Amino acid sequence: MTEMNSKPQGYWQHLVIDWSADKEAFKVNWGKVMMWVFLVSDTFIFSLFLIGYMNVRISATEAWPLTSEVFALVVGGEHIPLLLIAIMTFILITSSGTMAMAVNTAYQGNKNATFWLMIATAALGFSFVGMQAYEWSKLIVEEGIRPWGNPLGAAQFGSTFFMITGFHGLHVTGGVIYLTVVAIKVKLGHYDKKGFQIVEITGLYWHFVDLVWVFIFAFFYLW
């Protein structure tokens, strides 16, 4: 009887030991989880914006302006379609590369390289925002496009353009500030004891912003 009672007891003891040994498998970084929750919710917002844009464009009764002409730049007397937008896209794609390298060097413990790569990423993001400000000023001043009107065709063009690109530009601006703050804290050694997962979390946000721009570029500028 004693031997039979000891077997279940030993089984449960081993089960507890095995569970304790595997507890690291259930350990999560809550900062990363919360960032993913934020990004998923933001994905729904951008998706609604783009779906709304497609619906507005399809149902517009007036002619939709040709984006290749509206967003053309004059270089050497020649109108080059979407030149500024192509440069802006290249800048964001490049910034994703520098951000990925920053995450890699952070986990290697190279604070100096991580700092400069994050600053380079922030600088690229800042230049993107500057180009977007130029694009906005060109459309407002030279073309007369407003959120409530558009002399080139469908009035909805201005409202959808300023809403979608403005919301994305706000995300890029916030990302530049976020990157700069984290880079400075990395340089000062604030994460030496806590690890460098914060750099990876920052990278998740930045890659998301870059990915959203790819969809905006495809739906708004190429369509």
Residue 8 inside a domain? The answer is no
> CA 78 to CA 182: how far, in whole Å?
43
pLDDT of the chain, 223 residues: tens digit per residue: 445 454 555 666 665 665 555 555 556 678 899 999 999 999 999 999 999 999 999 999 898 998 888 898 888 888 899 999 999 999 999 999 999 999 999 999 899 999 999 999 999 999 999 999 999 999 999 889 999 888 989 989 999 999 999 999 999 999 999 999 999 999 998 887 677 899 999 999 999 999 999 999 999 898 8
Residue 4 inside a domain? The answer is no
Residue 93 inside a domain? The answer is yes
Residue 10 inside a domain? The answer is no
Residue 16 inside a domain? The answer is no
Quote the domain boundaries for residue 177: 29-221
Place of tokens 């030279």: 142
Number of domains present in the structure of the chain = 1
Residue 197 inside a domain? The answer is yes
Residue 12 inside a domain? The answer is no
> CA 67 to CA 84: how far, in whole Å?
12
Is residue 53 within 8 A of residue 220, CB to CB? The reply is: yes
Query: Which contacts (CB < 8 Å, 24+ apart) does range 24-33 have?
Result: 29/197, 29/201, 31/197, 31/198, 31/201, 32/197, 32/200, 32/201, 32/204
CATH number at residue 152: 1.20.120.80
Q: Residue 195 corresponds to which amino acid?
A: G
Residue 83 inside a domain? The answer is yes
